[in-house]
């Protein structure tokens, strides 16, 4: 078979590898992005818990001040009780004292509720901090791994591009440029085979006369529909 056709097939194999490596190189940074997004969400949720804890503690402080104020009032009334002269005054003061004590009981209940919420938030905070520490390590490790892979791919692509240039020197420049145009404009596939009578690139039926020409392999034949260079299926191509 024509040596040019064999070289073109080898070029296509190289281009397939280059294309796959480039695709992978573009995909990998998105993996890092996904991990970073997950980590950022966890950080947000930690911030949120911290805020809720702060609000809870402020609320506790305020309620404790309310209790202290009530106690001060109760003290004041109890001192006044010692000096009252009428039954009516006594009753009025007692009722004030009872009212404040009941108020304090309600506040105590609220405080217990807040303390329970505080414990739950502390638990949540502990859990998310553990998660953050773990995921930070995993993120760093994964980033390193992915960056190494990207570096390897860059080297691999450069090597394959060099091989491609070397290989291209073995065919006429005009043929290589034609091939290269097809690679750029036909979805990375310049070479198509004839499978069951159709072009593997565009699935257009190939005329029997062309099938015969391609099988001979002594000239460059292109698909009448997609312009890709047609070759006999690989196994027979290798034999020639």
90 or 204: CB nearest Zn ion: 204
35 versus 220: smaller Cβ distance to Zn ion:
220
Nearer to Zn ion, 21 or 190 (CB): 190
Query: Does residue number 226 form part of the binding site for Zn ion (CB under 5 A)?
Result: yes
From 5, 201, 229, 231, residue interacting with Zn ion (rule: CB under 5 A): 201
Residue closer to Zn ion, measured from CB, 9 or 121: 9
3-state secondary structure of 195: strand
Choosing from 202, 210, 211, 220, the residue that interacts with Zn ion (CB under 5 A) is 202
Residue 200 touches Zn ion, criterion: CB under 5 A: no
Q: Which of 21, 171, 199, 214 binds Zn ion (CB under 5 A)?
A: 199
Calpha distance 107→99 (Å, rounded): 13
Site string for Zn ion, 154-183 (x = CB under 5 A): ------------------------------
Stretch of 7-15, 21-29, 182-190, 199-207 contacting Zn ion, by CB under 5 A:
199-207
**In this structure, what DSSP letter does residue 205 have?**
B
Quick one: 45 or 225, whose CB is closer to Zn ion? 225
Q: Sort strands 198-199 and 191-195 into parallel, antiparallel or unpaired.
A: antiparallel
| Distance in Å, CB of 22 to Zn ion, minimum | 24
Angle between helix axes 3-81 and 87-168 (nearest 10 degrees) is: 170
Q: Output the DSSP codes for 47-84.
A: HHHHHHHHHHHHHHHHHHHHHHHHHHHHHHHHHHHTT-
Residues 6+ apart with CB under 8 A from 85: none
Residue 223 found at the interface with Zn ion (CB under 5 A): yes
**Residue 201 CB burial class (10 angstroms; 0-12, 13-18, ≥19):** buried
- Chain contacts with Zn ion (rule: CB under 5 A): 199, 201-202, 204, 223, 225-226
């Amino acid at each position: 078979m024509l040596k040019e056709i064999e070289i073109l097939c080898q070029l296509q194999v190289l281009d397939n590898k280059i294309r796959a490596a480039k695709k992978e190189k573009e995909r990998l940074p998105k993996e890092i992005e996904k991990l970073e997004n997950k980590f950022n969400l966890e950080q947000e949720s930690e911030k949120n818990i911290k805020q809720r804890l702060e609000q809870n503690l402020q609320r506790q402080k305020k309620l404790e001040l309310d209790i202290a104020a009530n106690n001060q009032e109760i003290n004041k009334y109890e001192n006044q009780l010692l000096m009252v002269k009428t039954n009516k005054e006594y009753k009025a003061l007692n009722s004030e004292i009872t009212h404040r004590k009941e108020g304090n009981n309600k506040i105590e209940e609220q405080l217990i509720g807040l303390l329970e919420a505080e414990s739950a938030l502390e638990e949540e905070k502990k859990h998310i901090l553990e998660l953050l520490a773990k995921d930070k390590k995993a993120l760093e490790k994964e980033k390193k791994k992915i960056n190494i892979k990207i570096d390897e791919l860059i080297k691999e692509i450069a090597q394959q591009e060099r091989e491609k240039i070397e290989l291209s020197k073995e065919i006429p420049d005009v043929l290589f440029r034609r091939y290269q145009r097809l690679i750029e404009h036909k979805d990375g596939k310049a070479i198509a085979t004839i499978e069951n009578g159709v072009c593997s690139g565009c699935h257009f039926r190939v005329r029997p006369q062309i099938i015969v020409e391609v099988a001979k392999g002594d000239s460059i034949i292109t698909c009448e529909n997609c312009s890709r260079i047609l070759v006999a299926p690989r196994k027979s191509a290798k034999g020639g």
